[in-house]
Structure 1
């Protein structure tokens, strides 16, 4: 059981804070400071399934599968099967606690060769937490949790290009209606949407069975800010994210395939600014009682403004903007579409979260059944994500016909 102050939990999980420092003349002098972007509901950025989890948390430009909803739903219409369902589970942050878990359920139906629909549920449990007040007095034991529900419609624009729209409902209950500073908290609610594109082109190749080029684009979690109290003016941004991927697959002989995929991600959320200090070392305010920003931009803006502002608002200028781009690289080898070996690498700048890890995993497919497992190796010592496991069980069908389904799965 974890014992956590409500105040500390809210600040740690949700706050988007800047660093008050002395003001240097050169923006590059801000580059050595920690300035990670934080948002509400960061669980939406976790790769929930084992295939992506084994390939460096990438998925924008990999081949279509049942879990495409989490990365690039436009891929669904390129799926070779008609419909499928998948369940994924991951024990999370096991280096810190033993009862935080992530579960993910997804399903899709390819209605025609031109369009498909999909649905997914993502559930994140923070385990049992003993809540305390600011003085450390016990209040109650709760099980904070968050979940999202989303639906996708994907359609081909041309034979090689598709688009998808994904509306999403988000629920986040971190405080179980406890009082903080005399104010009753409430679950956070939000509506959001994703827009995604996917390109896939097959080519003939000399000395090979074939080759495939893939490209993916997605902007996810575009939605209203989230608040955990009706009595506060503070509202936190959702983790709106830009995802770009490029992949290349080689089919050597009809039995052996190798896919290489790269991906970059950037949060489309304002970067915390640097605030000016007064003579006492405290944040300085102007005549309207507004904090004076020494470097960067005001983060208290609307969602559309925040998306565009995120490309030029870092206190360290263009170099810091580049630091906010993380990247992943994934490899997938398959033998007869039956046995899969995967590996990947993920990198995030040390000043923007410092997540750096290697991943690997295997997968097995037999008729309609797919089993995938992924394992994460943290590069840094004592990293909370070290030794993270992901498990995925999925079923893929080529038809809705009952007799054909029985034949595919050899069911009686």
Structure 2
């Protein structure tokens, strides 16, 4: 189990550049980027998106592609940590005249074999395999000669462990759905500049055994620019730049009303022992994340600007009443 926790931490630290200490998201394996070209370009692809990998980076790019294409990728992931970790990616696309382009991709991340232990060092309970996967269907069509719109619908499945730890009941698995939307504009302001925009991983929160501990999906906003410095028959040179913003807003336990306690009231301001996450003014004081329809706006603002003055979730403080 310690190995699984280490691997999940490394997914967060080594693969997802938009995440910050103030943002907690689930299903973060969806942000592990595929494609050798994308890796060599610093993962700036939203305004490029001119091959089958556009299904992942910006589905709007599929509309400009003719014919059909397929890509397969295999990576031994974090080989210095273990030899049974690997990442698989399969993508396809096909253009249909007068209808648009259909495509999609499948992601599979194998986290290897884990050892299950009980509550004592000698309590060996066997082995299990952890993995994560997602399947996505893409559709894209031209809005005009130089602009297109694309959308993805996806379902993801995370299988961490068959049984809960200790007294937890249920399985450590999660099945979730979401969608992406993308826009691509060629010859934006100048014939040499392309602009791309995507919002990815939009959907309900991700939960495993306890729905009360659900985390938001890693909803991500990306704005990209692709400028052609040289665009001749034999030579091409482009400057590509992407800006990412994770639209996830999380809050530590905060004493918003400065009464020295965290919670103690329900959302209507009535003192309660159940659902006592709020103060008497109806503000939630326990740790929580905003739903996506709020996080789109609140993720741009530091939580300290929204009120409160004491963070009782820091080391040395007790966030409970």
Answer whether TM exceeds 0.5 for this pair.
yes
Q: Which residue of 1 aligns with 2:2?
A: 4
Question: Offset of 1:252 from its aligned partner?
Answer: 4.5
Whether contact under 8 Å (1:105, 1:120) holds in the other structure is yes
Whether contact under 8 Å (2:72, 2:90) holds in the other structure is yes
Whether contact under 8 Å (1:176, 1:185) holds in the other structure is yes
Q: Which residue of 2 aligns with 1:165?
A: 151
Q: Determine if the alignment matches structure 1 residue 254 to structure 2 residue 259.
A: no
Q: Which residue of 2 aligns with 1:378?
A: none
Q: Determine if the alignment matches structure 1 residue 239 to structure 2 residue 239.
A: no
Q: Which residue of 2 aligns with 1:140?
A: 126
Whether contact under 8 Å (2:224, 2:241) holds in the other structure is yes
Say if 1:125 and 1:257 are closer, same or farther in 2 by CA, change over 3 A: same
Q: 1-side partners of 2:285 and 2:229: how far apart?
A: 45
Whether contact under 8 Å (1:273, 1:315) holds in the other structure is no
Q: Which residue of 2 aligns with 1:309?
A: 298
Q: Determine if the alignment matches structure 1 residue 127 to structure 2 residue 115.
A: no
Return the TM-score normalized by structure 1: 0.61
Whether contact under 8 Å (2:54, 2:62) holds in the other structure is yes
> What residue ranges of structure 2 are gaps of 5+ in the alignment?
13-19, 266-271, 307-321
Question: Offset of 1:269 from its aligned partner?
Answer: 1.1
Q: Which residue of 1 aligns with 2:177?
A: 191
Q: Quick one: higher RCO (CA 8 Å, sep 6+), 1 or 2?
A: 1
Equivalent residue runs for 1:343-382 within 5 Å: none
Residue in structure 2 matching 1:219, options 179, 193, 199: 199
Q: 1-side partners of 2:38 and 2:231: how far apart?
A: 23
Residue in structure 2 matching 1:299, options 263, 288, 293: 288
Deviations 1:55-113 (A, max 9, x none): 1012101141111111101001112x411000112222234333221110000011127
Whether contact under 8 Å (1:191, 1:223) holds in the other structure is yes
Query: RMSD across aligned C-alpha pairs, in angstroms?
Result: 3.4
Deviations 1:26-81 (A, max 9, x none): xxxxxxxx8242211111001111111111012101141111111101001112x4
Q: Which residue of 2 aligns with 1:118?
A: 103
Whether contact under 8 Å (1:83, 1:107) holds in the other structure is yes
Say if 1:177 and 1:14 are closer, same or farther in 2 by CA, change over 3 A: farther
Q: 1-side partners of 2:78 and 2:304: how far apart?
A: 31
Q: Determine if the alignment matches structure 1 residue 66 to structure 2 residue 66.
A: no
Deviations 1:379-411 (A, max 9, x none): xxxxxxxxxxxxxxxxxxxxxxxxxxxxxxxxx
SS in 1 for 2:60: helix
Structure having the larger proportion of residues in strand: 1
